[in-house]
Amino acid sequence: MSDIAVQVENLGKKYRIPHQGKRGEATLREVLAQTAGSLFRGRRSGRDRVEEFWALRDVTLDVRRGDVVGIIGRNGAGKSTLLKLLSRITEPTAGAIVVAGRIASLLEVGTGFHNELTGRENIFLNGAILGMHRAEIRRKFDDIVEFSGVEQFLDTPVKYYSSGMYMRLAFSIAAHLEPDILVVDEVLAVGDAEFQKKCLGKMREVAEQSGRTVIFVSHNMQAVKSLCNYAAHLASGRLVSYGPTSEIVRGYLAAGSSNTGRWENERPGDDERSEVQLLSMEVSDAHGSVGVYPSSSELTISMTFRLREPMAGFCLGFDLVTADGTTVLRSYQTDQAEDAWPRQAKGVQQWSCRIPAGLLCGGEYFVSPRISIHNVRWLIVLEAVLQFEVILDHGVSPFWNSLSGKSRPGVVAPILEWTSDAVGMSAFDDSDLSRAQYSNVDAGHTK
Amino acid sequence: MPTAEITEASLPTTLPVVRIVPSRGWLKLDLASLWKHRELLYFLIWREIKVRYKQTALGAAWALLQPLLTMLIFTLFFGRLAKMPSDGVPYSIFAFTGLVPWTFFANAMSLSSNSLVNSSNLITKVYFPRLSIPIASALSGLLDLVIAFSFVIVMMLYYRMSFTWKCAFIPLFVLLAAATALGVGFWLSALNVKYRDVRHTVPFLVQFWMFATPIVYPTSLLHEPWRTIYGLNPMVGVVEGFRWSLLGSSARPGPMLAVSCASALFLLVSGAYYFRRVERGFADLI
C-alpha cells in the first residue's frame, strides 16, 4: 500500500571483530609481515580469530506515513545500528530497507561545524551536510537565526560561542529540515534541561503539525510516550514487539526487570578500573513482603555499588517509573541538605533511601538506577531493573476508593490536609463579590 | 508481517524511492549521486579553503610562498652550483613552472590521503557520497594553483618572454594534474582507512615522486625510448606540458604526453572503483 514510508524486511547487520593485538586497526606493515610469513611457512599462519557478531537480525517492520515511531531497547540492543542502516551510513549484511520519500538523519547536533567559521558560514555548511540545498538554506536563514537566538553573534567564529549557543544554533538548523522521513537519535540527551525542553517541543511540533514520518531512538520513556504513537522494542538485535506505544513500553519495562525484590547486575562493568560499578539493587518493606507492597508501608530502596574513589559531584539515585513509562519521581542522595549526604567510601558500599508510606498510588512500578556526576556526565543509566506492585491501602476515609476500581487516578496518592478558611457568605459583601467578577474579566478569563 | 511492497507505481509520483540492500563486489561509480550532492561538494571545498586561509597567518600568500621559496633554493643549488641544464631558459623560471603544478599535486596528495580519517565525524553521522571527501581535499588546492600561476605570469614578463597560442593548453594540463591528484587521492584515502600507517608513507612518497618528475632537471636528459616510458608518471606530462606551453623550451610532448594521459586516466578510474568497493566498510572501520 502506498501509505508505507519505510519498509524493513529481514534486516540484518553483522560485524566482524578481529581479535588481534591492536583492535580493529590493521597496519600495512602487519599485513605484509603476515603474508610474507605465511608464504614461507606454506600455510595460513597465526590466522587471527575473527568473531562474528550480529548487531541486528531478522528485523521486519513497516512504518506508515505520518507515524512517529519510537525505537526502544536496552544498551546494545541494536537501536543505533538500525538508525545507521536507515541513514545509509553503513550497509546491511542481509535483508533490505525500502524508503519512500526524502529521508534526513539527525544523529548528532552540529555535524560538520567548524570552529574557525562564523555562525553564518556554519549554517550553510551544516545545512548542506544535512542535505538542504543552498536555495533552501537561504530561504530559511532568517527563521533559523531567530529560533537559535544567536543573531548578535552571527558573524563571529563559532569557537567563541558558549556551549549553549552552539547547541541552539546546531539544533536550530536541524529543526528546519523538511524531509518526508526524519530519523533522530537521542540528540536530546545532550544539553541542559531547558534546551531539552525546547528540543522536545520542536520535535512534537514536527511530528504533529507536519504529518511527517519520524523514527526516534530514545531511552527517555517520557519522551517516547509523549511523542510517539508506535514503538518498536529491540533486544539483542531482534525485534521483540512493534505496536502502539503504551503496550510496547509496558512490555519493555517488564522484560528484564526483576520482580523478586532483588536485582543483581550480571554485567557490572567489564573494566575493573571503571569509576563506579552498580552491583545490585533491592526493594523491601518492614514486613518482608516480596514483589507486592501495601502503600501503607514505607519502602526501602537500596543500592549496592563499588566506588574506585570518592568523586566530587557524585550523584546516586533512581527514577521511579509507572508501568507505562511515566516518571513518578527522581531521587538522588544529593537532594538532601549537604550535611546529610551519606559519605562516599572507597570500595563496596550500600546506600538506601525510604519512600514514605502513604505516597504511592496502586499499580506497577519500576526502578531505574541513575548515577552521574552532577551537570557533567552520566555514569550509569539503566532502565527498569526492579519491578514491584503497590496495593493501595493507606486510606483512612470511607470515601477513599470509588466503586469503579481498587485504585485512584494519579501516580501519587498522598492524603493532603484540607481545612476550612472562611465560613458563611457574610465573609464577602456584595461589592467584594462584584469586584472579584470584574478582576476576572480584566485577566481575560471571559471571551 | 509486511503488507504489500512499496513499488514505484503505487506511490504519488513525486516521492523518490530508495532501496538499501547489501552490496557485493565491484560497485558502480554512481556519478549521479555525486552530481546530486554537488552543492555539498562545493561547500566542502569552500570549507577547506576558508579554514586554510583563516588559520595561517600568511593566508593566501602561502599559496605563492611555497613554490617560490622552493624555487629560490633550487635555483641556488641546482641552477647555480650544480649547473643543471634548463633547456635554454633561466633556471629560476624553469624550476618555477615545474613547481607550480607540482605543489598543487603534492598538497593534494598529502591532504586527501588523510581526508577520510579526518572526516570521521561526518562519515559516521551523515549520508553523502564518500567520494566527495577526497575530491574536496584534492581540488581545494586549485585556488592556490591559480594564485601561484599569477606569479608565473609576473616572472615571464620579467624575463621578457612572450605568450604564445600554446598557452591556451594550460587548462588541459591543469586538468591532467587534477585527474592525477584525484586518482592518487582516491587510492591513498581509501587505503588509509584500513591501513592506518599509509599516512606515514605519504611524505616519503611525495619526496620520491618529486625526483621522479622533471622539476629539478629537464627531460631532455633522457633519450628515447626512455623519454616516452618516463611519461608513465602522469606528472611528467603535466610539467612538460606547462613548460612547453609557457616557455616553448621543450620539444612537443607528443607520445610522452599520451602515455601520461593514459596513466592518469588509469589512476583515476582504478582509484575510483577501488574506493567504491571498500567504501561500504568505512563507517565501521573509522
Q: What share of chain B is helix, strand, coil (3-state, %, to 5)?
A: 70, 0, 30
pLDDT band at A362 (very low <50, low <70, confident <90, very high): confident
Strands annotated E in A158-273: 181-184, 213-217, 230-235, 238-244, 262-264
Which chain A residues are within 8 Å of B13, Cβ to Cβ?
A: none
Instruction: Select the residue from A25, A122, A187 to test the B interface by mutation, using most B Cβ atoms within 10 A.
Output: A25
- The β-bridge partners of A332 are A317
pLDDT band at B208 (very low <50, low <70, confident <90, very high): very high
Q: What is the mean pLDDT of residues A226-254?
A: 89
Q: What is the mean pLDDT of residues A295-324?
A: 91
pTM of the model as a whole: 0.76
Q: How many CA atoms lie less than 13 Å away from B32 in the CB half-sphere?
A: 1
Q: Using DSSP bridges, classify how beta strands A49-64 and A4-19 pair: parallel, antiparallel or unpaired.
A: antiparallel
Name the residue in chain B with its Cα closest to that of A63: B2
pLDDT band at B138 (very low <50, low <70, confident <90, very high): very high
- The β-bridge partners of A241 are A233
pLDDT for position A56 = 93
Greatest extent of chain A over all pairs of C-alpha atoms, in Å: 109
Q: Kindly tell me if the per-residue pLDDT of A23 is higher than 60.
A: no
Buried-state track A11-37, b at ≥16 Cβ within 10 A, e below 16: bbbeeeeeeeeeeeebebebeeebeee
Tell me the residues of chain B between 45 and 74 that have a Cβ less than 8 Å away from chain A: 46-47, 50-51, 54-55
As a whole number, the mean pLDDT across chain A is 82
Q: What is the mean pLDDT of residues A21-27?
A: 53
Cβ distance A91 to B22 less than 8 Å, yes or no, reads yes
Give the count of beta carbons closer than 10 Å to the beta carbon of residue A193. 7
In this predicted model, what pLDDT tens digit does every residue of B13-25 receive, in sequence order? Answer: 577 888 888 888 7
> Using CA atoms, how far apart are residues A126 and A123, in angstroms rounded to an integer?
5
pLDDT for position B219 = 85
pLDDT for position B134 = 94
A190 touches chain B (CB under 8 A): no
Full set of structural domains in chain A with CATH: 4-253 (3.40.50.300), 262-391 (2.70.50.60)
Residue A328, all three cell numbers = 513518578
Q: Measured between alpha carbons, how far is residue B10 from residues A6, A103, B285 in Å? A: 14, 19, 38
pLDDT for position B197 = 87
Which chain B residues are within 8 Å of A25, Cβ to Cβ?
A: 196
Q: Shortest CB distance from A100 goes to which of B3, B6, B280?
A: B6
Smallest CA–CA distance, residue A160 to chain B, in Å, is: 15
B151 touches chain A (CB under 8 A): no
Please identify which residue in the block is written with the cell numbers 620520491.
B208
Q: Kindly tell me if the per-residue pLDDT of B191 is higher than 70.
A: yes
Are residues A278 and A382 in contact, defined by beta-carbon separation less than 8 angstroms?
yes
pLDDT for position A447 = 41
In this predicted model, what pLDDT tens digit does every residue of A74-104 receive, in sequence order? Answer: 878 889 899 999 998 998 999 999 999 888 8
Q: What is the mean pLDDT of residues A267-285?
A: 79
Give the count of beta carbons closer than 10 Å to the beta carbon of residue A206. 20
User: Among residues A66, A99, A369, which one has the least CA distance to residue B20?
Assistant: A99
B170 touches chain A (CB under 8 A): no
Cβ distance B197 to A27 less than 8 Å, yes or no, reads yes
Cβ distance A100 to B4 less than 8 Å, yes or no, reads no
Cβ distance B125 to A7 less than 8 Å, yes or no, reads no
Helix ranges restricted to H, A211-292: 221-227, 245-254
Q: Kindly tell me if the per-residue pLDDT of A203 is higher than 90.
A: no
Cβ distance A116 to B54 less than 8 Å, yes or no, reads yes
Cβ distance A24 to B285 less than 8 Å, yes or no, reads yes
Q: What is the mean pLDDT of residues A294-305?
A: 91
Give the count of beta carbons closer than 10 Å to the beta carbon of residue A429. 9
User: Among residues A395, A388, A389, which one has the least CA distance to residue A413?
Assistant: A395
pLDDT for position B176 = 94
Name the residue in chain A with its Cα closest to that of B282: A90
pLDDT for position B4 = 52
Identity of the residue numbered B266: F
Q: Using DSSP bridges, classify how beta strands A363-373 and A347-355 pair: parallel, antiparallel or unpaired.
A: unpaired
Q: How many CA atoms lie less than 13 Å away from A133 in the CB half-sphere?
A: 6
pLDDT for position A150 = 87
pLDDT band at A45 (very low <50, low <70, confident <90, very high): very low
Q: Kindly tell me if the per-residue pLDDT of B83 is higher than 90.
A: no
Percent of all residues in chain A with a pLDDT value above 70, rounded to a whole number = 83
- Nearest 10 degrees: CA dihedral of A428, A429, A434, A438? -50
pLDDT band at A431 (very low <50, low <70, confident <90, very high): low
> Using CA atoms, how far apart are residues B163 and B169, in angstroms rounded to an integer?
12
Smallest CA–CA distance, residue B227 to chain A, in Å, is: 33
Identity of the residue numbered A415: I
B126 touches chain A (CB under 8 A): yes
Choice among A136-140, B70-74, B221-225 with the minimum mean pLDDT: B221-225
A33 touches chain B (CB under 8 A): no
As a whole number, the mean pLDDT across chain B is 87
Q: What is the mean pLDDT of residues A3-15?
A: 90
Are residues A9 and A63 in contact, defined by beta-carbon separation less than 8 angstroms?
no
Which chain A residues are within 8 Å of B127, Cβ to Cβ?
A: 87-89, 105
Residues 6+ positions from A37 with CB-CB distance below 8 Å: A45, A46
Are residues A400 and A295 in contact, defined by beta-carbon separation less than 8 angstroms?
no
Name the residue in chain B with its Cα closest to that of A28: B195
Smallest CA–CA distance, residue A262 to chain B, in Å, is: 38
Cβ distance A26 to B16 less than 8 Å, yes or no, reads no
pLDDT band at A444 (very low <50, low <70, confident <90, very high): very low
Q: Kindly tell me if the per-residue pLDDT of A405 is higher than 80.
A: no
Cα B251 to its chain centre, rounded Å, is 25
pLDDT band at A26 (very low <50, low <70, confident <90, very high): low
Give the count of beta carbons closer than 10 Å to the beta carbon of residue A323. 18
Sheet arrangement for strand A347-355: A262-264, A276-285, A299-307, A347-355
pLDDT for position B271 = 94
Q: Is B31 helix (H, G, I), strand (E, B) or coil?
A: helix
pLDDT for position B251 = 65
In this predicted model, what pLDDT tens digit does every residue of A103-120 receive, in sequence order? Answer: 888 888 788 888 888 999
